[in-house]
Each structure stands twice: as C-alpha cells, then as structure tokens.
C-alpha cells in the first residue's frame, strides 16, 4: 500500500507541530526541527512520539 502524499498537507509532527517531509526510500516522515523520523506502516504514518526514531541528515 502506498503512502498518499496529500496527507502531508494535514499531518504535523506530534512533538513540535511542525511540517513533516516524506522520505520515500525509507518509508518514513521526517521532522527536521526535532530530528525525528516516524515510520509509515502499510501506507499509514505512525505519528506517535514513542515510535519515532532519531534522524540524521545525510551530507
């Protein structure tokens, strides 16, 4: 099941309420402010702070 990119207009980071970016390759939504990544499971973003993993930008 594919992630619907239209959801990016209505979802926000549960920690800071900021904008999320879609990482298609890793199937996750990224908050660059908090440096957290939220998994996408079967096309559904799991926007729970306790399920987020640390995110490091690639140089």
Q: Which residues 6+ apart lie within 8 Å of 56 measured at CB?
A: 35
Q: What pLDDT does residue 5 have?
A: 83
CA distances for 40 relative to 16, 33, 43, 53, angstroms: 19, 19, 6, 12
Q: Which residues contact 13 (CB under 8 A, 6 or more apart)?
A: 19, 20, 31, 33, 34, 36, 38, 47
Residue 59 in domain: no
Q: What is the pLDDT along the chain (59 residues), one digit of tens a residue?
A: 678 888 899 999 999 999 999 999 999 999 999 999 999 999 899 999 999 999 998 76
The domain total for the chain is 1
44 within some domain: yes
As a residue count, the chain comes to 59
Specify the CATH number for the domain of residue 10.
Answer: 2.20.25.10
Q: Which of 6, 53, 59 is nearest to 26 (CA)?
A: 53
* Domain range enclosing 22: 5-54
Would 47 be classed as within a structural domain?
yes
């Amino acid at each position: 099941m594919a992630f619907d990119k239209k959801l990016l207009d209505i979802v926000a980071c549960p920690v800071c309420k900021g904008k999320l970016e879609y990482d298609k390759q890793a199937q996750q939504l990224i908050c660059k402010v908090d440096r957290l990544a939220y998994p996408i499971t079967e096309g559904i973003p799991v926007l729970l702070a306790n399920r987020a993993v640390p995110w490091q930008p690639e140089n």
